[in-house]
Structure 1
Amino acid sequence: MSKAKFILKEPNAKVETLIYLIYNYQYKRFKYSTGETINPKFWNKTAQRVKASKQFKEYPEFNSRLDKIENGINNAFRTLLNDGIQPNNTLLKEVLENELSDNLLKPKQVTLFEFIESYIEESKLNKTIGTIKVYKTTFKYLKEYAKKYKPINYENITLEFYNHYLGFLKSTHNLSSNTVGKHIKTIKSFMNEATERGHNKNLEFRNKKFKTIREEADTVYLSIDELEKIEELDLKASPRLERVRDLFLIGCYTGLRFSDFTQINPENIVSDNTVIQIRTQKTGQRVSIPLHRTVRTILKKHKNRLPKSYTNQTMNDYLKEVVSLAGIKELIETTITKGGKIEKKILPKHKLVSTHTARRSFATNLYLAEVPSISIMKITGHKTERSFLQYIRVTQKENADKLLTHPFFN
């Protein structure tokens, strides 16, 4: 028996989320974006309609639109059967949209720029500040490109646009390859979301040639010996540097991101002060991390309540001072593709250290200590071993030293 129902894309969201029509027929499942959005607090899951509420006065009209969509899919299914045509998802979608068109129920045509603008506002409630900043910058570049060359809407996001836009970002803004890749990835995210909500039908952005470019960054990690040098520094004369050092070491021995290791509080210390348990801000994952000796020492020093952090940028500036005082000044050659040209620099190691070096150091040091990759990934959140191995920083010599202990070489 065929049956229609409506479900929310994200039923636990705190902001408006998309409503899907689900139609089960002949042991098949048809899923269709209604183009309608609603805050879950106004949704009656049992009735699959909007609740009667003074806060949402337009609920009768809203529910009427859902009724027409439900009638539309039922009519579409019957029409196909009556015409002797075996229903499938493609045909159902086509006939349904004809039904809705006759009822003037086509979703309001929202332009790509209108969608991005509203999506950024919506994301402020459930995305990190860093993500919102990337969204805004990507949107700024898109508007700049449209003003300089031609208007942009969904149908313009093609391979031709992709190739031209890469050149625009590299030449006009002199961006590195990884930054360009980040903005392409964001455009694909915008297009995916717009497609999910029924605004876009152009899927050329999913072509494998419409790819997110990336080059391996010259990032560094700090070895256990180097971390011990940092820990042994006497920084009592400089409280700002002592605070930064302590917070950074917490990151180095927990693998947490800056946004997480700066938010640890007494409630996160569990199992008789042997484990940190925290839900990460970026992914929402709950992770459990054994307390390293250094972490226990620092937590005891601050009575399990870490000092307030500086901003990430300020932390990075002060951190370079701390690492320099520890005598970590090895010269490192770096290369970066910027504006389409390869730039090489030789910099002392301490200038390449940032708060994110803590997380990379954690992963690399555990890997070199023969901790199984899968155990490390449980903490870092990497989904595949391939992505994890790209993340850690192990030199050819360190890899050879690690293999020396393997039975194959003995």
Structure 2
Amino acid sequence: MVTQFVLRKQKQNKAGECPVYLMVYFDGARLACSTGEKCRPADWNEDRQQFRKSYPLAEEANNLLKLMAGNVLKWWRGVRASGEVPTVAGLKASLQPAVVAMPPAPLLVVEEVMQFREVMRRRGLMWNTLRHYLVTANWLRNFEQWAGRKLTVSGYDLATHDLVLAYLRHDRELSPNSLYTVGKDLRRLFGYLRDERGICISVEPRKLRVACQDTDKVYLSAQEMERVRVAVLPTTLAPVRDVFLFCCYTGLRYSDVLQLHGGNVETLADGSGRVLRLTQTKTRTKVSVYLTAAASAVLEKYTCPERTGPGARLLPVYQNQVMNRYLKRITRLAGVSSGVEVVEVRAGQVLKTMREKHELVTMHTARHTFATQSLLRGMPVEVLQKILGHASIKTTLVYAKIVEDFQHQTMRRIWDAQGVTDSSGALDNQICAVEPSAA
């Protein structure tokens, strides 16, 4: 067998370049195929069958031709040993570099968290629920930078999980509930990868549990609510105060009062009052809340032609961060300054600090206030559950645990034989009333 490299000058292109062909002669037969290389005639040495030094990267190009000639020789020997008939297709195949099957790239945990978040979005999870997957992905990226390595799905075992939690707990000083969120997200992710995508994982998802810690809920007493109601405030703060009190009277979350419009207010058929009917943004649960005199007074204050359209907002609600910042100032001016012990777990240590209550007030404090004050006034837990839109009564019972006045009342009744009639300090205007049932 003889191999030659020939420049096909008759196939010159517009740039003046000609293709280089490989010619193979054996047993009086000839096979020809293109090498994929081309050059100008002046850059080709016909005698030596290679590129001249004037050709760019001539040494690399000539080495490629030598490699091709060696591959053709191996191919020819194999064909001759097997007794097969040489073909052009076989010749071309011998010139192609061997394709080495590369192992699939390992799945990265951070990337899978983001893809899982997208899957959950398509399945209808709400934005607030999906947001913490972004937070979890950021914490895991921080760990990767600290550890100097990527977290892979196949390599994520319990030892790695413990290392991640130790970094987040001690180096980043995350709270127990933040760690709980990370563990919950990873548990759901690995369960999805194993059960729905059939991916082999190195950890049992249910073992990625992190203990959740109950946090103290801040709420206002009836006296503190009254001080907020009558406080003399700058005109810029008065609307924020009114929205906050309206949530104290109705138990609405910020996300619901933000989107409250005229279509949510209905008058009862018997004319005995009005109710709010809405679908909660967070849980998509339909709730009905009776508008008491105090709540109606707030709405009436902002009733104007601009707010009477079907899509008009009923109350002047600002961004949540702005509302929270203003509320701290409002409650400070109103004298809500009782001491509150704040217990935190940081880096494995329990830290106790004393804070004034106004420093801890947020828009969600109104919902806590509504729940605790409703219980103090004797509202059944089952009714409160419906008004708050809780799927489980266990969630509502959390408020019963934090109302210390219940404990005080019971002890006074048992030990001092005293009936309790006004310990809650209820306002004249009832905070909440249950919607009357139809006759």
Residue 290, structure 1, aligned to residue 290, structure 2: yes
Equivalent runs, 1:1-400 vs 2, <5 Å: 112-121=109-118, 126-147=124-145, 148=147, 150-202=149-201, 204-207=203-206, 209-235=207-233, 238-272=234-268, 274-303=274-303, 305-391=313-399, 394-400=402-408
* 1:393, distance to aligned residue in structure 2 (A): 6.0
User: 1: distance between equivalents of 2:202 and 2:374?
Assistant: 42
Give yes or no for contact 2:323–2:363 (8 Å, CA) kept in 1.
yes
Structure 2 unpaired stretches of 5+: 1-104, 308-312, 420-439
User: 2: distance between equivalents of 1:266 and 1:405?
Assistant: 46
Specify the SS of the correspondent of 2:197. coil
TM-score by structure 1 length? 0.65
User: 2: distance between equivalents of 1:383 and 1:329?
Assistant: 34
Give yes or no for contact 1:219–1:352 (8 Å, CA) kept in 2.
no
- The one-letter amino acid of 2:211's match is I
User: 1: distance between equivalents of 2:337 and 2:140?
Assistant: 41
Specify the SS of the correspondent of 2:237. helix
Q: Percent identity?
A: 27
CA 1:123–1:249: 2 relative to 1, 3 Å:
farther
User: 1: distance between equivalents of 2:116 and 2:363?
Assistant: 30
* 1:163, distance to aligned residue in structure 2 (A): 2.1
- The one-letter amino acid of 2:265's match is I
Greater gyration radius: 2
Specify the SS of the correspondent of 2:402. coil
* 1:133, distance to aligned residue in structure 2 (A): 3.4
User: 2: distance between equivalents of 1:377 and 1:210?
Assistant: 31
* 1:214, distance to aligned residue in structure 2 (A): 2.0
Specify the SS of the correspondent of 1:214. coil
Give yes or no for contact 2:106–2:154 (8 Å, CA) kept in 1.
no
- The one-letter amino acid of 2:263's match is E
- The one-letter amino acid of 2:376's match is L
Specify the SS of the correspondent of 1:240. coil
* 1:171, distance to aligned residue in structure 2 (A): 1.8
List per-residue Cα deviations over 1:18-70 (Å, max 9, x = no partner).
xxxxxxxxxxxxxxxxxxxxxxxxxxxxxxxxxxxxxxxxxxxxxxxxxxxxx
* 1:244, distance to aligned residue in structure 2 (A): 0.9
Give yes or no for contact 1:120–1:132 (8 Å, CA) kept in 2.
yes
TM-score by structure 2 length? 0.61
User: 2: distance between equivalents of 1:157 and 1:163?
Assistant: 10
Give yes or no for contact 2:331–2:358 (8 Å, CA) kept in 1.
yes
Specify the SS of the correspondent of 1:310. coil
User: 2: distance between equivalents of 1:109 and 1:378?
Assistant: 48
List per-residue Cα deviations over 1:169-226 (Å, max 9, x = no partner).
012211111211122222223334434532445494543x532322222331112222
* 1:138, distance to aligned residue in structure 2 (A): 0.5
- The one-letter amino acid of 2:173's match is N
CA RMSD of aligned residues (A): 2.8
List per-residue Cα deviations over 1:269-300 (Å, max 9, x = no partner).
11345111111111111111111222100111
User: 1: distance between equivalents of 2:330 and 2:245?
Assistant: 11
User: 2: distance between equivalents of 1:201 and 1:293?
Assistant: 60
* 1:124, distance to aligned residue in structure 2 (A): 5.7
Give yes or no for contact 1:329–1:350 (8 Å, CA) kept in 2.
yes
Structure 1 unpaired stretches of 5+: 1-107
User: 2: distance between equivalents of 1:275 and 1:175?
Assistant: 42
1:50 is matched with: none
Specify the SS of the correspondent of 2:276. strand
